Protein backbone atom coordinates (compact mmCIF):
# COMPACT_ATOMS: atom_id res chain seq x y z
CA UNK A 1 0.00 0.00 0.00
CA UNK A 2 1.16 3.56 -0.68
CA UNK A 3 2.59 5.67 2.10
CA UNK A 4 -0.30 7.32 4.00
CA UNK A 5 -0.68 11.07 3.58
CA UNK A 6 -1.97 11.29 7.18
CA UNK A 7 -1.47 8.93 10.13
CA UNK A 8 -2.95 9.26 13.60
CA UNK A 9 -0.96 7.18 16.08
CA UNK A 10 -2.61 6.53 19.44
CA UNK A 11 -4.01 10.06 19.58
CA UNK A 12 -5.80 11.10 22.76
CA UNK A 13 -7.63 14.34 23.45
CA UNK A 14 -9.12 15.58 26.71
CA UNK A 15 -10.77 18.87 27.53
CA UNK A 16 -10.06 19.35 31.23
CA UNK A 17 -11.16 16.12 32.89
CA UNK A 18 -13.30 15.06 29.95
CA UNK A 19 -11.65 12.40 27.81
CA UNK A 20 -13.06 12.91 24.33
CA UNK A 21 -10.73 10.71 22.26
CA UNK A 22 -8.93 7.78 23.89
CA UNK A 23 -6.68 6.23 21.28
CA UNK A 24 -7.24 7.05 17.63
CA UNK A 25 -5.20 5.06 15.10
CA UNK A 26 -5.94 5.92 11.53
CA UNK A 27 -4.16 5.97 8.17
CA UNK A 28 -5.46 8.08 5.31
CA UNK A 29 -4.03 7.24 1.90
CA UNK A 30 -3.40 9.85 -0.81
CA UNK A 31 -6.66 10.42 -2.71
CA UNK A 32 -8.65 8.38 -0.19
CA UNK A 33 -12.16 9.66 0.67
CA UNK A 34 -12.99 9.05 4.32
CA UNK A 35 -16.42 9.72 5.84
CA UNK A 36 -16.69 10.16 9.61
CA UNK A 37 -20.01 9.44 11.29
CA UNK A 38 -21.05 9.18 14.92
CA UNK A 39 -23.28 10.65 17.60
CA UNK A 40 -23.13 14.30 18.66
CA UNK A 41 -20.21 14.85 21.03
CA UNK A 42 -18.31 11.75 19.91
CA UNK A 43 -15.34 13.86 18.80
CA UNK A 44 -15.78 14.02 15.01
CA UNK A 45 -14.99 17.73 14.84
CA UNK A 46 -12.15 17.35 17.33
CA UNK A 47 -10.44 14.72 15.15
CA UNK A 48 -10.26 17.01 12.14
CA UNK A 49 -9.55 20.19 14.13
CA UNK A 50 -6.37 18.53 15.46
CA UNK A 51 -5.27 17.91 11.88
CA UNK A 52 -6.04 21.54 10.99
CA UNK A 53 -3.89 22.54 14.04
CA UNK A 54 -6.86 24.23 15.71
CA UNK A 55 -6.76 21.83 18.66
CA UNK A 56 -3.63 20.21 20.16
CA UNK A 57 -3.69 16.48 20.96
CA UNK A 58 -3.22 15.58 24.62
CA UNK A 59 -0.93 12.73 23.55
CA UNK A 60 -0.01 10.69 20.50
CA UNK A 61 1.25 11.71 17.07
CA UNK A 62 -0.29 13.00 13.87
CA UNK A 63 1.98 12.50 10.85
CA UNK A 64 1.34 14.49 7.66
CA UNK A 65 3.25 13.37 4.57
CA UNK A 66 6.03 11.93 6.76
CA UNK A 67 6.27 14.96 9.08
CA UNK A 68 5.17 14.97 12.71
CA UNK A 69 2.59 17.78 12.86
CA UNK A 70 2.62 18.70 16.54
CA UNK A 71 6.25 17.82 17.33
CA UNK A 72 9.59 18.83 15.86
CA UNK A 73 13.18 17.84 16.36
CA UNK A 74 15.39 20.16 18.34
CA UNK A 75 18.93 19.23 19.41
CA UNK A 76 18.17 15.55 18.80
CA UNK A 77 14.97 15.58 20.88
CA UNK A 78 11.32 15.74 19.86
CA UNK A 79 9.77 18.89 21.32
CA UNK A 80 6.46 20.72 20.93
CA UNK A 81 6.21 22.22 17.45
CA UNK A 82 6.55 25.98 17.12
CA UNK A 83 4.24 28.15 15.01
CA UNK A 84 6.54 28.01 11.98
CA UNK A 85 6.61 24.20 11.99
CA UNK A 86 2.83 23.99 12.43
CA UNK A 87 2.26 26.43 9.57
CA UNK A 88 4.59 24.54 7.25
CA UNK A 89 3.19 21.08 7.89
CA UNK A 90 -0.40 22.37 7.86
CA UNK A 91 0.23 23.86 4.42
CA UNK A 92 -1.02 20.64 2.85
CA UNK A 93 -4.33 20.71 4.73
CA UNK A 94 -7.49 22.67 3.88
CA UNK A 95 -10.77 22.86 5.76
CA UNK A 96 -14.36 23.89 5.14
CA UNK A 97 -16.47 24.68 8.21
CA UNK A 98 -20.14 24.33 9.01
CA UNK A 99 -20.58 28.12 9.22
CA UNK A 100 -18.52 29.18 6.16
CA UNK A 101 -16.34 31.71 8.08
CA UNK A 102 -16.06 34.12 5.13
CA UNK A 103 -14.71 37.64 5.64
CA UNK A 104 -17.82 39.88 5.41
CA UNK A 105 -15.95 43.02 4.37
CA UNK A 106 -14.24 41.32 1.40
CA UNK A 107 -15.71 40.42 -1.98
CA UNK A 108 -16.02 36.79 -2.97
CA UNK A 109 -12.91 37.13 -5.11
CA UNK A 110 -10.93 38.80 -2.29
CA UNK A 111 -12.05 36.05 0.09
CA UNK A 112 -10.54 33.50 -2.28
CA UNK A 113 -7.35 35.43 -2.99
CA UNK A 114 -6.33 36.45 0.49
CA UNK A 115 -4.63 33.25 1.67
CA UNK A 116 -2.94 32.81 -1.70
CA UNK A 117 -1.30 36.24 -1.55
CA UNK A 118 -0.74 36.44 2.23
CA UNK A 119 0.14 32.85 3.15
CA UNK A 120 1.45 31.35 -0.08
CA UNK A 121 2.93 34.65 -1.30
CA UNK A 122 1.50 34.09 -4.79
CA UNK A 123 1.61 37.26 -6.92
CA UNK A 124 -1.66 39.16 -7.21
CA UNK A 125 -2.34 38.49 -10.89
CA UNK A 126 -1.86 34.74 -10.53
CA UNK A 127 -3.92 34.66 -7.34
CA UNK A 128 -6.72 36.51 -9.11
CA UNK A 129 -6.68 34.21 -12.11
CA UNK A 130 -6.55 31.03 -10.01
CA UNK A 131 -9.36 32.30 -7.76
CA UNK A 132 -11.62 33.19 -10.68
CA UNK A 133 -10.98 29.78 -12.23
CA UNK A 134 -11.88 28.06 -8.98
CA UNK A 135 -14.99 30.21 -8.45
CA UNK A 136 -16.13 29.33 -11.96
CA UNK A 137 -15.59 25.69 -11.17
CA UNK A 138 -17.96 25.88 -8.18
CA UNK A 139 -20.52 27.73 -10.32
CA UNK A 140 -19.95 31.26 -9.00
CA UNK A 141 -18.24 32.90 -11.95
CA UNK A 142 -20.97 35.58 -12.13
CA UNK A 143 -20.67 36.58 -8.47
CA UNK A 144 -16.98 37.29 -7.92
CA UNK A 145 -17.48 41.01 -7.14
CA UNK A 146 -20.32 40.44 -4.66
CA UNK A 147 -20.03 40.39 -0.88
CA UNK A 148 -20.89 37.33 1.22
CA UNK A 149 -24.16 38.82 2.56
CA UNK A 150 -25.45 39.08 -1.02
CA UNK A 151 -25.25 35.29 -1.47
CA UNK A 152 -27.40 32.36 -0.38
CA UNK A 153 -26.08 29.91 2.20
CA UNK A 154 -25.32 27.36 -0.48
CA UNK A 155 -23.42 29.93 -2.52
CA UNK A 156 -21.47 31.06 0.56
CA UNK A 157 -20.50 27.48 1.27
CA UNK A 158 -19.32 27.06 -2.31
CA UNK A 159 -17.15 30.19 -1.88
CA UNK A 160 -15.67 28.63 1.26
CA UNK A 161 -14.90 25.54 -0.75
CA UNK A 162 -13.28 27.47 -3.61
CA UNK A 163 -11.20 29.41 -1.07
CA UNK A 164 -9.86 26.18 0.43
CA UNK A 165 -9.39 24.42 -2.93
CA UNK A 166 -7.44 27.24 -4.56
CA UNK A 167 -4.64 26.54 -2.03
CA UNK A 168 -4.28 23.09 -3.61
CA UNK A 169 -4.24 21.11 -0.37
CA UNK A 170 -3.34 17.41 -0.37
CA UNK A 171 -6.03 16.78 2.22
CA UNK A 172 -9.38 18.57 2.49
CA UNK A 173 -11.47 18.44 5.65
CA UNK A 174 -15.22 19.04 5.59
CA UNK A 175 -17.06 19.45 8.89
CA UNK A 176 -20.80 18.96 8.34
CA UNK A 177 -20.70 21.58 5.62
CA UNK A 178 -24.38 21.19 4.72
CA UNK A 179 -25.92 21.04 8.18
CA UNK A 180 -26.40 24.82 8.52
CA UNK A 181 -28.10 25.07 5.12
CA UNK A 182 -31.77 25.18 4.23
CA UNK A 183 -32.72 21.76 2.86
CA UNK A 184 -33.19 23.02 -0.70
CA UNK A 185 -29.58 24.29 -0.77
CA UNK A 186 -27.93 21.07 0.40
CA UNK A 187 -27.92 19.44 -3.03
CA UNK A 188 -25.88 22.09 -4.83
CA UNK A 189 -23.13 21.91 -2.19
CA UNK A 190 -23.00 18.10 -2.18
CA UNK A 191 -22.83 18.22 -5.97
CA UNK A 192 -19.68 20.36 -5.85
CA UNK A 193 -18.05 18.04 -3.29
CA UNK A 194 -18.96 15.05 -5.44
CA UNK A 195 -17.33 16.69 -8.48
CA UNK A 196 -14.15 17.40 -6.51
CA UNK A 197 -14.11 13.85 -5.18
CA UNK A 198 -14.47 12.39 -8.66
CA UNK A 199 -11.49 14.43 -9.87
CA UNK A 200 -9.40 12.22 -7.69
CA UNK A 201 -5.99 13.11 -6.44
CA UNK A 202 -6.89 14.94 -3.20
CA UNK A 203 -7.59 13.03 0.03
CA UNK A 204 -10.84 14.08 1.69
CA UNK A 205 -12.18 13.63 5.21
CA UNK A 206 -15.88 14.38 5.50
CA UNK A 207 -17.78 14.58 8.75
CA UNK A 208 -21.33 14.08 7.57
CA UNK A 209 -24.85 13.01 8.46
CA UNK A 210 -25.67 12.46 4.80
CA UNK A 211 -25.55 8.67 4.69
CA UNK A 212 -26.48 8.35 1.01
CA UNK A 213 -23.75 10.80 0.16
CA UNK A 214 -21.20 8.84 2.25
CA UNK A 215 -22.28 5.65 0.49
CA UNK A 216 -21.81 7.31 -2.85
CA UNK A 217 -18.38 8.91 -2.50
CA UNK A 218 -16.51 7.40 0.48
CA UNK A 219 -13.85 4.70 0.16
CA UNK A 220 -13.90 4.20 3.92
CA UNK A 221 -16.37 5.08 6.68
CA UNK A 222 -15.41 5.51 10.34
CA UNK A 223 -17.95 5.25 13.15
CA UNK A 224 -16.73 7.24 16.12
CA UNK A 225 -18.18 6.29 19.48
CA UNK A 226 -16.97 6.14 23.07
CA UNK A 227 -13.70 7.95 22.30
CA UNK A 228 -12.52 5.48 19.67
CA UNK A 229 -13.15 4.37 16.10
CA UNK A 230 -15.74 1.76 17.02
CA UNK A 231 -16.15 0.43 13.51
CA UNK A 232 -14.55 1.12 10.14
CA UNK A 233 -14.76 -0.35 6.68
CA UNK A 234 -16.24 0.24 3.27
CA UNK A 235 -19.52 2.17 3.14
CA UNK A 236 -21.27 -1.11 2.32
CA UNK A 237 -19.84 -2.75 5.43
CA UNK A 238 -20.39 0.13 7.83
CA UNK A 239 -23.63 1.70 6.59
CA UNK A 240 -25.42 -1.19 4.91
CA UNK A 241 -24.25 -4.14 7.04
CA UNK A 242 -23.29 -2.70 10.43
CA UNK A 243 -22.17 -5.20 13.07
CA UNK A 244 -21.72 -2.90 16.03
CA UNK A 245 -24.98 -2.59 17.98
CA UNK A 246 -24.53 1.09 18.81
CA UNK A 247 -23.86 1.75 15.15
CA UNK A 248 -27.09 -0.04 14.24
CA UNK A 249 -28.99 2.16 16.72
CA UNK A 250 -27.26 5.26 15.37
CA UNK A 251 -28.15 4.39 11.77
CA UNK A 252 -31.79 3.74 12.68
CA UNK A 253 -32.08 7.44 13.39
CA UNK A 254 -31.33 7.98 9.71
CA UNK A 255 -34.02 5.48 8.72
CA UNK A 256 -31.49 2.77 7.99
Where do contacts with ligand ATP occur on this chain (CB under 6 A)? Answer: 15, 20, 38, 40-46
- Report what 163 binds from ligand ATP, Mg ion, none; CB cut-off 5-8 Å by kind: none
Q: How far apart are CA 203 and CA 106, in angstroms?
A: 29
Q: How far apart are CA 196 and CA 102, in angstroms?
A: 20
- Which one of 45-53, 82-90, 155-163, 226-234 is the stretch in contact with Mg ion (CB under 5 A)? 45-53
Shortest approach of Mg ion to residue 63 CB, angstroms?
Answer: 23
- Is-contact 185 179, C-beta < 8 A? no
Nearest position to Mg ion, beta carbon: 45
Q: Quick check: 46 binds Mg ion (CB under 5 A)?
A: no
Q: How far apart are CA 197 and CA 86, in angstroms?
A: 26
Q: How far apart are CA 164 and CA 93, in angstroms?
A: 9
Q: Which is nearer to Mg ion, 7 or 45 (CB)?
A: 45
Shortest approach of Mg ion to residue 176 CB, angstroms?
Answer: 6
- Report what 41 binds from ligand ATP, Mg ion, none; CB cut-off 5-8 Å by kind: ligand ATP
Q: Which is nearer to ligand ATP, 30 or 227 (CB)?
A: 227
Q: Which is nearer to ligand ATP, 15 or 133 (CB)?
A: 15
Report strand pairing: 77-80 vs 71-74.
antiparallel
Q: Which of 7, 45, 53, 131 binds Mg ion (CB under 5 A)?
A: 45
Residue of 169, 161, 150 whose CA lies nearest to 97: 161
Q: How much of the chain is in helix, strand and coil states, percent to nearest 5?
A: 40, 25, 35
Angle at CA of residue 10, ends 68 and 21, nearest 5°: 110
Q: Which is nearer to ligand ATP, 43 or 148 (CB)?
A: 43
Q: Which is nearer to ligand ATP, 167 or 229 (CB)?
A: 229
Shortest approach of Mg ion to residue 45 CB, angstroms?
Answer: 3
Please count the other Cβ atoms lying within 10 Å of the Cβ belonging to residue 151: 18
Residue of 115, 108, 116 whose CA lies nearest to 138: 108
Report strand pairing: 71-74 vs 220-225.
unpaired
Q: Which is nearer to ligand ATP, 43 or 154 (CB)?
A: 43
- Report what 15 binds from Mg ion, ligand ATP, none; CB cut-off 5-8 Å by kind: ligand ATP
- Which one of 40-48, 88-96, 142-150, 212-220 is the stretch in contact with Mg ion (CB under 5 A)? 40-48
Shortest approach of Mg ion to residue 40 CB, angstroms?
Answer: 7
Q: Which is nearer to ligand ATP, 41 or 187 (CB)?
A: 41
- Is-contact 190 158, C-beta < 8 A? no
Binding site residues, Mg ion, CB under 5 A: 45
Amino acid sequence: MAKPIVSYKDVHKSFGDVKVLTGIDLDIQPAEKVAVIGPSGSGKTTIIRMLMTLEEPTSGDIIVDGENLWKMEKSGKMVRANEKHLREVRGDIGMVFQHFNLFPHMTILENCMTALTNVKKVDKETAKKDSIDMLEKVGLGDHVEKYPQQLSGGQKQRVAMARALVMKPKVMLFDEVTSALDPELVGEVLEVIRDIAKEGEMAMVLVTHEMDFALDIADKVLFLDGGVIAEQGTPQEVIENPENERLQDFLHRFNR
